[in-house]
Amino acid sequence: MSTREYPSIDYVKSLLRYEDGRLYWLPRPRSHFLNDRTWKKWHTQYAGKEAGHLRKSKLNPRCTIRIDGELFFRHLIVWAIHHGEWREWVDHRNRDKSDDRIENLRPVTRSQNRANCSVALNNISGLKGAHYQKTRGRWTSSIKVGGKQKHLGCFDTAEEAHAAYVKAAREYFGDFACEE
């Protein structure tokens, strides 16, 4: 677990309610605010409304929610509310980062979470695990498992290198393997 400080789950439950993958602000007590004016203003703007800010990025459309000045990903809050524990890594089964329904979330290790990522944007082949090495004039494939890079071989085509990666990913990562 990280060294990050998380608010108590009871406190979070007093602030937010879950409904079908979304979180909504609950009315807050006056004691959470410095004065009546900010308390009334907050209730006018936020109470009963959806919490969070959804990033408009196609690559990372995650929703973040600010609690007491700290940003948290919505999917981590949803997990904590439902399971009574904070997790550093929670994965989206369908790989849609904006779909935070509890049935779409699963606990993972950092390695499993990385295994479930799409191909890197700077990958010229467009195929996960396939990298061109100019010095060899061939395609190579590798996979990272448990923090260690494993060389899978050299190949004539990007498709062969990708196939080697897919086979190894299924072996090492099972349900968490992403072939795209």
Q: Which domains does the chain have, with CATH numbers?
A: 9-107 (3.90.75), 112-176 (3.30.730.10)
Quick one: tokens of 156? 């004539």
Task: Give residue 10's pLDDT.
Answer: 96
Is the separation of the CB atoms in 172 and 143 below 8 Å? yes
Element (H, E) at 98: none
Instruction: Give the SS3 label for residue 28.
Output: coil
Element (H, E) at 76: helix 74-83
| pTM confidence score | 0.79
Task: Give residue 163's pLDDT.
Answer: 93
The strand ranges marked E within 39-137 are 53-54, 63-67, 70-73, 90-92, 105-107, 130-133
In this structure, the number of other CB atoms found within 10 A of the CB of residue 104 comes to 16
Task: Give residue 107's pLDDT.
Answer: 94
pLDDT per residue of the chain (180 residues) written in tens, 0 to 9: 456 889 999 999 999 999 999 999 999 999 999 999 999 999 999 999 999 987 766 666 678 999 998 999 999 999 999 999 999 999 998 888 889 999 999 999 888 888 777 777 777 888 888 989 999 899 999 988 888 899 999 999 999 999 999 999 899 888 888 777
